[in-house]
Structure 1
Amino acid sequence: MQVIFNADDFGLTKGVTDGIIQSHTKGIVTSTSLIMNGRAVSYAVEQAKKHPSLRVGLHLVLSWGKPLRMDVDDLMNEHGYFKFTNTYNNMPTPNLEQLKSEWQAQIEAFINTELPLNHLDSHHHIHGWDPIKKITIELAKQYNVPVRYIPSLKCHREILRTDYLYTGFYGNGVRKDLFNQLKKVKTDTIEVMTHPAIVDNVLKELSSYSTKRENELDILKSIHVPDWVTLIE
């Protein structure tokens, strides 16, 4: 089985960034996803350039923080933040023209860092939301970059990074028997979503998922990779 261990939220905070770097240099994480409206983006880019073996993709955002563009009013609330949340499935369809321009801005901001763009995924997996997945497909083809597997995109294998996404290494699923769980999945290529971090005060302010990130980091640094697994980027 070929496995990608990807760390989400690179650049969210300095502690998250440092944790992801450790999970790569001392552990099994092979790639990460940079969130362009995070609090430590410049620091994350600096660290990525010091560790070129860590592949970096883009964590597209529509459901957290502020947009990069200021002319996407239909995507924002009265405080200038994205109005969409992790319950977006129950929300009205976004203004698709504004969404595409915002996501292009996020991609172009990434490209301007001069880091190679390895892949696309998104916060809360919103890139697979049915009303907007057409934009995801268009951008993947426009920038010639693979996209994180989501069931709603399974018919577009030509753009997918793997055949399956494992989301079980999260919350109560953060356990040392991770590879035993992966072995039960019948697939050839799989991405494991992870969120390692060194918890800092900024992270505590921004995310309800904090303490468990250090548990993830400890496991990702200590876990043994069995011989039936090939780590890929």
Structure 2
Amino acid sequence: MFVVINVDDLGLHPAVRRAVDQLARAGVVTSSTLLANGPDLSESVLLQDTHPSLGLGAHLNLLRGKPISNPDHIPSLVDDDGLMFGSYTSLLLRYLTGQIKLAEVEAEWSAQIEYLLDHNVRLTHFDSEKHIHAWPGLFGLAGKLARKYNVSWIRNPLEKTDISRLDKGMLRTRFLQTCLLGSQSFETPRTAYGVWGIADQKDKLDPILFEKYIDTYKPNVVEIVCHPGKPEPGDGPLPSDFGPMRVEAQWKEEFNSLSQKGWLKIFEKIGATPVNYGQLDPRTGVLK
């Protein structure tokens, strides 16, 4: 079994970059996805040279900050100030009422991908801010762009949770399961069996809970979704134009979990090999 341990939001803030750097050195993080419009992008892309075994993907974004495209060219995706809406609920309501134009989504995502390529990022896979690429119609669009840009893997944000769970984590996974109903499966790009870490976040990002999940579902390739950060005095706040964000509350707990809770011992116990997507053959799901 192969496990990809992916940190979302690289490029958002120096705290995320520090966490990826330290956890990659420890071998417990193998992958991260970059926000093309993140204020820390230029420093963050250097990690692929510092850590050759770290895979970097695109964290496709329709939700936060200033778009890479000219805002005048994507009016359905921006507010009067030319910023993306910053509110998941507002964006979802606009999407459900047909106010979001798929052609503009394709244009902005393409601009983000090309911006990362212009920064010499060797893209291993795609995922998205708040898993928005799972929304009906957008999963197929993300797959189309992966094929266009020769990216071999895309996150499948499908996490199975026990029907007896009655918490926010269960609601997140059920919503994404519903979004993905009827979505096409791909030969190219490939998707992992699914993910773990959407239902169980913060202090619940625990290797014992991951072991129980693997024991139950026995995937051949699974991705752990995580959001660690390592802030330092003087860093400054999260970017104000990104709108309200709760991710800062996850940083410390998830960094402490990944650095202190014996993940590598659990991987060894369950026979899981940590990899990044770029090390896996998309045709077979095994090491190249």
> TM over 0.5: same fold?
yes
Which amino acid in structure 2 is aligned with residue 55 of structure 1? G
Which amino acid in structure 1 is aligned with residue 185 of structure 2? H
Partner of 1:162: 192
Partner of 1:26: 26
Q: Deviations over 1:1-41 (max 9, x none)?
A: 32110010111111111111111112411000011111100
1:53 counterpart = 2:91: no
Q: 1:150 and 1:174, CA in 2 relative to 1: closer, same or farther beyond 3 A?
A: closer
TM-score, structure 1 normalization: 0.90
1:66–1:82 contact (8 Å) kept in structure 2: yes
1:208 counterpart = 2:243: no
Counterparts of 1:201 and 1:84 in 2: how far apart (Å)? 19
Aligned residue among 207, 228, 242 for 1:196: 228
Count of paired positions: 233
Q: Deviations over 1:32-60 (max 9, x none)?
A: 00111111000101233222221101100
SS of alignment partner, residue 237 of structure 2 = helix
Partner of 2:94: 91
SS of alignment partner, residue 38 of structure 2 = coil
Tell me by how many angstroms 1:212 deviates. 2.6
Which amino acid in structure 1 is aligned with residue 81 of structure 2? H
Partner of 2:110: 104
Q: 1:204 and 1:101, CA in 2 relative to 1: closer, same or farther beyond 3 A?
A: closer
Q: 1:84 and 1:100, CA in 2 relative to 1: closer, same or farther beyond 3 A?
A: farther
Counterparts of 2:138 and 2:79 in 1: how far apart (Å)? 19
Counterparts of 1:181 and 1:86 in 2: how far apart (Å)? 31
Moved more, 142-151 or 28-37: 142-151
Partner of 1:218: 256
Q: 1:215 and 1:162, CA in 2 relative to 1: closer, same or farther beyond 3 A?
A: same
Q: 1:219 and 1:189, CA in 2 relative to 1: closer, same or farther beyond 3 A?
A: same
Q: How does 1:59-138 map to 2 (within 5 A)?
A: 59-70=59-70, 71-83=73-85, 85-87=87-89, 88-92=91-95, 93=98, 94-138=100-144
Counterparts of 1:182 and 1:90 in 2: how far apart (Å)? 33
1:61–1:122 contact (8 Å) kept in structure 2: yes
2:203–2:253 contact (8 Å) kept in structure 1: no
Partner of 2:164: none
Q: Which has the larger Rg? A: 2
Q: 1:101 and 1:25, CA in 2 relative to 1: closer, same or farther beyond 3 A?
A: same
Aligned residue among 169, 177, 182 for 2:213: 182
RMSD, matched Cα: 2.1
Q: 1:83 and 1:116, CA in 2 relative to 1: closer, same or farther beyond 3 A?
A: same
2:58–2:113 contact (8 Å) kept in structure 1: yes
Which amino acid in structure 2 is aligned with residue 164 of structure 1? G
Structure 1: unaligned runs, 5 residues or longer: none
Q: 1:47 and 1:2, CA in 2 relative to 1: closer, same or farther beyond 3 A?
A: closer
Give runs of ≥4 in structure 1 deviating > 3 Å.
203-206
Counterparts of 2:108 and 2:30 in 1: how far apart (Å)? 28
SS of alignment partner, residue 191 of structure 2 = coil
Tell me by how many angstroms 1:176 deviates. 4.7
TM-score, structure 2 normalization: 0.74
SS of alignment partner, residue 88 of structure 2 = coil
